[in-house]
Amino acid sequence: MDSKEKENWLLAGRIGKEARETGIKLAVPGSTLISIAEAIEGKIKDMGAKPSFPPNLSINQIAAHYTPRFQDDITLKKGDVLKIDVGASVDGFLSDTAATVAVGERDTELITAARDALQAAIEIARPGLDVNEIGRVIENKIKSRGFSPIVNLGGHGVGRYDLHEEGFIPNISGSYSRPLKKEGAIAIEPFATTGGGYVVDSSEVQILGFVETRPVRSAMGREILGFIEKEYNSLPFAKRWIIGKFGKVAELELRSLVSAGALTEFNVLKERDNGLVAQFEHTLLFDGETVTVTTA
């Protein structure tokens, strides 16, 4: 990769780290999810970037894909297990990073299991390594503390304007066999749970993504779709961002755009057995034989 590309990857990582740390500092009893999300988004924008996806602030048995609703009133309570999953986009070069906080308390064994699994995976990660080896160390670390890895969530490749580039990186061994990419970015993302280790879609959707331009009857629908394509490209966006700009009527237009195939939905993901979930994540950049954790 050329020097400008590498500079952008590294800058996206640094901004992602700062956004994650902003969320961690604000994750105290009495804080609202919307205030944390807006502070994270503000931090990213103040540093000259855009969010690579809406801040995911998922509590307890919710594993991923929850970003606050428009005028959300959810407030953190002592003991909540909060996943803070954020990222930054610098001209489409992305970061993706996450941490888990036991709100108002010390880290739990579950949180330690997920953090240790990520560290163990990073220690062996290198270009060309079989992803099964990543899954093996993650699974072993999580199970050694008496918890389950989530089998249908994992890491992924990261491309320019492509948050989940092809190349799943499992959290268990024996499920995939494929070499890690030789150059570019990946995200390693262990999830540990007190449940059985499987997530399912809930009915709630607060995050969407652009698919393609489609014929739209409504003038407002066409305006919204044009804005989404220009503003977010292929990156996920929050429903509340669109409602905040176009008003509450935009929610109906978004549903119509999903029905037309112009947008896709990312359902909130919940642990099937209602187990608590912890998550940690870093973005790694491969450049020749050099491995850099951009979000550390």
The encoded tokens of residue 54 equal 């809406």
pTM over 0.75: yes
Class of domain 201-268: mainly alpha
Average pLDDT of the chain, as a whole number: 97
Q: Where are the domains positioned within the chain? A: 3-197+271-293, 201-268
Q: Please give the pLDDT value at position 222.
A: 97
Instruction: Report CA-CA distances (Å) from 176 to 147, 152, 190, 261, 284.
Output: 21, 12, 15, 31, 20
User: Which residue out of 116, 189, 253, 271 is catalytically annotated?
Assistant: 189
pLDDT digits (tens, 9 = 90+) for 228-278: 999 999 999 999 999 999 999 999 999 999 999 999 999 999 999 999 999
Among residues 42, 50, 51, the alpha carbon closest in space to that of 22 is found at: 42
Q: Which residues pair with 83 in a beta bridge?
A: 58, 100
User: Which residue out of 18, 41, 80, 85 is catalytically annotated?
Assistant: 85
Which CATH fold would you assign to the domain 3-197+271-293?
Creatine Amidinohydrolase (3.90.230)
46-65 in b/e form (b: 16+ CB < 10 A) is eeebbbbbbbbbbbbbbbbb
**What percentage of residues in the chain have a pLDDT greater than 90?**
97
281 is catalytic: yes
Q: Which residues pair with 100 in a beta bridge?
A: 83
Question: What SS3 class is residue 93?
Answer: strand
pLDDT digits (tens, 9 = 90+) for 59-71: 999 999 999 999 9
289 is catalytic: no
* pLDDT surpasses 80 at 185: yes
pLDDT digits (tens, 9 = 90+) for 127-182: 999 999 999 999 999 999 999 999 999 999 999 999 999 889 999 998 789 999 99
Among residues 88, 70, 68, the alpha carbon closest in space to that of 26 is found at: 68
* pLDDT surpasses 80 at 209: yes
